[in-house]
Structure 1
Amino acid sequence: MNNPAVKSKSAALSNYLNVIIAFVVVSIIGIIIIPMPPFILDILLVVNISLSITILVLTLFTHSVLEFLSFPTLLLVTTMIRLGLNISSTRLILSIGDAGSVIETFGSFVAGDNYIVGAVLFIIIVIVQILVVTNGASRVAEVSARFTLDAMPGKQMAIDADLNSGLITEELAKSRRSNLEKEANFYGAMDGASKFVKGDAIAGIIITLINLIGGIAIHSLQGSYTIGEALNHFGQLTIGDGLVSQIPSLLISVASGILVTRTANEKGFGDTIGGELFHTPQVMYIVATLLAIFALVPGFPFFPFILLATGLVVAGYLVGESQRTTVQEDLDSQRQAAMQQESAPVEESASQFQVDRIAVELGYGLIPLASEEQESNLTSQIAAIRKQLSYEMGILLNPIRIRDNLQMSQYDYVIKIKGNPVASGTLYPDKFLVVEPGGIEDEIEGIEAKEPAFGLDALWVNERNKEIAELNDYTVVDPLTVLVTHVKEKMKTNADELLGRQEVKELLEGLKEDYNVVIEELIPDILQLGDVQKVLQRLLREYVPITDLVTILETLADYGNTTKDHETLTEYVRQALKRTIVREHLDDQGTLNVLAVHPDVEERVSSSIQKSTQGSIPVLQPQEVNRLFDSITQQSTMLSARGIPFVLLTAPKIRPAMKNLLSFNFPELAVLSLNEIPNDSAIESVGTVTMT
């Protein structure tokens, strides 16, 4: 498709098509002004009828309104074409008393020898079009436009939530926003365009009356016909002209009604209707029984009822047999696969008995979330967040094992790291989770819950209450998004456990082509692979991304000959990554808000530090620890209430010990040292931590 010659031909064809369409639209004025010979009018009327049928059939094969966005404009153009042809035919009827073969044939075929019957049929068609089809389509378009516009903020927030959680890419988010805007514009345009169809029907009635009265008056007064002959001749022409214009108009109205009442579906109109209307044999048997009873009632025609009842019985039998065959084929294929698996030689290996680094277990009620038949399923969404976390944190994550667990409750799930549960939750596949960070104030019926990833107050609601929540600007999330977001947060908070020696080796292999010098210098002459892994794990434990792996390796090479202590090496690396670390904690004005540690506290912590295999930790009295924690809790509560992001700032020599001391009670609190703040960063002190 990238062939320049093909692109050039496509562009030329597109230009020709634009010119042709522009010529057709402008020619409408010519049709109204310039007298048309009857044979040319015949051709144009046939083209008009064909165009109407084409549009109607096209809407039957359209899956979504997004596939036919030009319909409102096309509705206006076809309306103007019909009016132009109607005016041309009126000119011919009034001037020469003839409007071509098409109109004459329609009039004689429908009306026959009785033009009153034709007039009644014409009036019925106009009434059906104005009062039923056009009114209904206009109302649906109006309501759809209003609800689409009202739901846009909620849908846009859902798209933003999916983007922020890594479920979709930026390109897919842009595409969904564009489709949302196009859909809203379509229904708004249809709301206005449907008024043209109603006006066209009214104009058709007026023109028909003009043809009848004007033709009789003009040609009877000129002596061409007697009153009776004029009434018969022009009555037939008038009915033919009205039908030729109103039948295409009715087809377009039906097409507009079908289009605005369609919901997004991967199947066409026929497949959808057939699949939903005739998929239950029991329904057809019941209807057949009722029709057979009607056939036996005296006075009812026996043959039509019994014929249709027989047809429904045969259809029900065929549908049932087809369903049974499908089920049997599925069972046979499953049995065959199981037999092949049993007969295959079992090759045991150590990897078969190892636990997965990360796994998600689902209750049987949540298994459909992982179905490959859905366009958006758990497998594809988790693959997307693995890729996003790789970019954010700089690590290569192993595939996530997804399995069912029949011992769990049907709507429960468990997230496991190295075979151990780290999180769990409950989902309702037929409901939606309504989340509002500030708390849900309006009364909405639902099941109270906590958003599992961030612990926010939430409600599980049904489809009707979901629309109410969206109108109140609450965040509405589907069950799959809830689960995927929870998995992502657990992967992020446990990234250090997911980074093994094998993953570190793969990271280094990816850098070897461009940075082989630093890797060969560092490993194994200065540090072993396991030493590098321990430093990277310590960084990830404090949510420091390792995306700048080259700087990390160069720093380890600089200081690896001086010390082998992993904690000390990590501090050197943190100082080299100071801009990356500080950037994550700046406020909207680019200022780093710090909660300073009182010098007395720093001195007390420094004098009590002891080394262990887990790193440095201060050995303080329990009352000292309690006072320190109370001071931090008081300060953090006040700053969080004011919406101020902050970090705890300490002296470099006590930073690791302070972080280890606070890691259990304050896991989200970032602890930085003075050496980790760039000289050009703006700093503002927002409080002091004491032990008093």
Structure 2
Amino acid sequence: MKLKDMSVLIAVILVIVMLIIPLPDWLLSILILTNISLALIVILVAMNTEEALQFSIFPTLLLLLTLFRLALNISTTRAILSDGHAGGVVETFGSFVIGGNPLVGFVVFIILVIIQFLVITKGSERVSEVAARFTLDAMPGKQMSIDADLNAGMISDVEAKERREKVGNEADFYGAMDGASKFVKGDAIAGIIIVLINIVFGLIIGMMQMGMSFQEAINTFMRLTIGDGLVTQIPAILISTATGIVVTRVASEGNLSSDVTKQLFRYPSLLYIAAGAIFMLGLTPINFFLTTTIAAVLAGIGYFLSRVQKKQETVAEVTEEVQEETSMKSSDNVVNLLSMDPIEFEFGYALIPLADTNQGGDLLDRIVMIRKQLAIELGIVIPVVRIRDNIQLGPNEYRLKIKGNEVAAGEVLLDHYLAMSPGVEDDGLDGIETLEPAFGLPAKWISEETKDDAELSGYTVVDPPSVVSTHLTETIKRHAHELLGRQETKQLIDHLKESYPILAEEVTPEPLSVGDVQKVLAKLLREHVSVRNLPVIFETLADFGRMTTDTDLLAEYARQALAPQITKQYVQNSQPLQVITVSGAVEKVIADHIQQTEHGNYLSLDPESQQKIVQSVMEQAERLSLREETVIVLCSPTIRMYVRQLLDRNLPHAVVLSYNELDNTTEIRSVGMVNVA
């Protein structure tokens, strides 16, 4: 343990010893002066902190200093009542204040104690209590504000974490200060009681045990008691004042001294008014010379500050102009333009209420929920969504960009509802014809007056914020593989290492690089397979990564390992899985035209044969689409990824599964077969 840490522990032990063992007068004097010095240091530190958390140890320090002061009280009381003296510091303070009149000295001391107890201590206690209550009440709002800033891209994840920790620390600090202020109050009460004990029992001991007269006893013990009270109450007042300063301090860019001078003398013209008022007082019987002098000093300060203020404003204007010129000429200004947000959501001016919390908009909160939902569904952390208005868009238009490319756009009417048809068109429902942006379903924008009629007719009615959030969710899902780069993959691997360090080390950096792992995960996400079960994926990569580094094959092996997950994704309520199967002839054609190279395998099939296969799948898929069922093509594991490649352009939403990706208990029902005529 370090020496400075040991010193604090030893100091606490010595304080406890003081409560038991009598101390010599010279040591008492040293400890009394140490107590005053510590109190001065504390109040100076409190005045120079810019915010309360910079002095976060204060509540604990308050307890320790209170204990030290009470131990000193006990030691000096023991010395006063047993020996009739308590060191030079106590006697000097007592003699100086009394000044030959014990009664006047006692009155001065009582006034000092009243100020300490009723004014400073009570005020600090009340402020601590209110600050703790308001800080705790404001915590949820501050947390939501941090989430909103994070989601809007105004702060990074690291900054959000730091701000959350600061909010939590503030709540803990003010809660601790609420309790610690009770020590200050108790210390003040104890000081009053100790003074009364010293006077009463000092008189008794002096007259009955030491043989003093009443006058001699009152002079001796009154002087020592007041001296003892002063040397403990003065540090107590300093500590109480420091408590009030800390709990009333708000975050600023400077310490208390700079803030007081800056804010108190911010308006020099007001000093002229004060100077005039003081000068007018001199026309009364009040000393004319004195009031005129003070008025002149105030006017002089006002004139000096106004000159300084004008000079600062001129310098600030020149500095701002220079900074603007430097910024425009600086190469950094151009470099900053190269940065691009992963996800950008732009909207026209009429949609500003969607994102403005002051107008009841909850888009920021919805995006936070979307990121959480997609983290659960996809297994990756979606980057923050940069939200901004764009005057180049139509008033009701919005668009979504991923890595600078527009991937989705739409239009919403804030004063309408979107009614989606139940399947049977109702010409009697008045509305503006449109398409639901997320799934392309026919819909109508209807007014609030016709909302109830639409719901009774079987329409699904959705409010504009839900339309936008659904469109955002589905679009981000479709492009999730584009958002997963090497940096994001490294973060997933680091997260996996926390729970499965051996597994992560067996896969990367050897035999697979972060880039190889990223390609495998992106291929899974591209076909809407969640990578949340990362341990299973890495187990597969560990098994097959030394056999091949072909990321296409590794992705196929990972899919097969995720068979229970994929089965659950497409099989609902134990119903038979409706699929389009690939005939043996087609599978043989594809298998025979797979070319193996050192850079990987690819399908080398003539365009005519490819077109026939795709056309056959489209014919079967059209029948399924009429029944509003998902198009699922089932084939053997060896050709699955090549069938997927064939259908990418014409049937991007079709699901291609292999037999190894389904549980053995899954009931399969073939509703069509892919053949080549």
* Pairwise TM-score range, normalised by the shorter structure: 0.5 to 0.7
Q: 1:498 to 1:141 in 2, by over 3 A?
A: closer
Distance 1:336 1:30 in 2: 65
Name the structure 2 match of 1:651.
634
Query: How far apart are 1:108 and its partner, in Å?
Result: 3.4
Name the structure 1 match of 2:479.
494
Q: 1:312 to 1:117 in 2, by over 3 A?
A: farther
Structure exhibiting the larger radius of gyration computed from Cα positions? 2
Name the structure 1 match of 2:311.
321
Query: How far apart are 1:328 and its partner, in Å?
Result: 1.0
Distance 2:62 2:339 in 1: 64
Q: Does the aligned pair in 2 maintain the 1:358–1:419 contact within 8 Å?
A: no
Distance 2:259 2:473 in 1: 37
Distance 2:667 2:106 in 1: 87
Q: Does the aligned pair in 2 maintain the 1:41–1:100 contact within 8 Å?
A: yes
Question: Normalising to structure 1: TM-score of the pair?
Answer: 0.57
Question: Normalising to structure 2: TM-score of the pair?
Answer: 0.58
Q: 1:336 to 1:676 in 2, by over 3 A?
A: same
Kindly report which structure 2 residues correspond to 1:80-159, keeping only aligned pairs within 5 A, or say none: 80-146=67-133
Distance 2:88 2:10 in 1: 26
| Residue in structure 1 matching 2:269, options 258, 281, 285 | 285
Give yes or no for the alignment of 1:628 onto 2:627.
yes
Kindly report which structure 2 residues correspond to 1:389-400, keeping only aligned pairs within 5 A, or say none: none
Q: Matched residue of 1:103: which SS?
A: helix
Q: Does the aligned pair in 1 maintain the 2:529–2:566 contact within 8 Å?
A: no
Tell me the alpha carbon deviations over residues 605-664 of structure 1, each in whole angstroms, 9 at most, x when there is no partner: 999x99499999625899x677533x67xxxxxxxxxxxxxxx86534999599989978
Kindly report which structure 2 residues correspond to 1:346-365, keeping only aligned pairs within 5 A, or say none: none
Q: Does the aligned pair in 2 maintain the 1:76–1:193 contact within 8 Å?
A: yes
Distance 1:605 1:124 in 2: 103
Distance 1:63 1:116 in 2: 44
Tell me the alpha carbon deviations over residues 571-629 of structure 1, each in whole angstroms, 9 at most, x when there is no partner: x7763331576687698xxx98547887777489999x99499999625899x677533
Query: How far apart are 1:43 and its partner, in Å?
Result: 0.7
Give yes or no for the alignment of 1:677 onto 2:676.
no
Amino acid at match of 1:190: M
Which segments of 5 or more consecutive residues in structure 2 lack a partner in the other structure?
353-370, 413-436, 439-470, 486-506, 587-608, 673-677
Q: 1:242 to 1:677 in 2, by over 3 A?
A: same
Query: How far apart are 1:124 and its partner, in Å?
Result: 3.0
Give yes or no for the alignment of 1:578 onto 2:562.
no
Tell me the alpha carbon deviations over residues 343-383 of structure 1, each in whole angstroms, 9 at most, x when there is no partner: xxx9xxxxx9999997788999x9xxxxxxxxxxxxxxxxx
| Residue in structure 1 matching 2:226, options 239, 246, 252 | 239
| Residue in structure 2 matching 1:59, options 29, 41, 46 | 46
Kindly report which structure 2 residues correspond to 1:560-575, keeping only aligned pairs within 5 A, or say none: 575=556
Tell me the alpha carbon deviations over residues 192-235 of structure 1, each in whole angstroms, 9 at most, x when there is no partner: 33222212111111111222233344334567654344434433
Give yes or no for the alignment of 1:17 onto 2:16.
no
Kindly report which structure 2 residues correspond to 1:181-220, keeping only aligned pairs within 5 A, or say none: 182-220=169-207
Q: 1:98 to 1:356 in 2, by over 3 A?
A: closer
Distance 1:143 1:605 in 2: 77
Q: 1:263 to 1:661 in 2, by over 3 A?
A: farther
Query: How far apart are 1:241 and its partner, in Å?
Result: 1.5
Distance 1:409 1:272 in 2: 48
Q: Does the aligned pair in 2 maintain the 1:361–1:403 contact within 8 Å?
A: yes
How well do the aligned residues superpose, as a CA RMSD in angstroms? Answer: 6.4
Which segments of 5 or more consecutive residues in structure 1 lack a partner in the other structure?
1-10, 347-351, 367-384, 427-451, 454-485, 501-510, 521-531, 561-568, 633-647, 665-669
Q: 1:652 to 1:307 in 2, by over 3 A?
A: farther
Q: Does the aligned pair in 2 maintain the 1:596–1:689 contact within 8 Å?
A: no
Distance 1:333 1:165 in 2: 28
Q: Does the aligned pair in 1 maintain the 2:481–2:522 contact within 8 Å?
A: yes
Q: 1:112 to 1:220 in 2, by over 3 A?
A: same
Q: 1:600 to 1:334 in 2, by over 3 A?
A: closer
Paired residues in the alignment total 528
Tell me the alpha carbon deviations over residues 402-427 of structure 1, each in whole angstroms, 9 at most, x when there is no partner: 999786899x997545564846999x
Q: Does the aligned pair in 2 maintain the 1:602–1:651 contact within 8 Å?
A: yes
Query: How far apart are 1:167 and its partner, in Å?
Result: 9.8
Q: Matched residue of 1:36: which SS?
A: coil
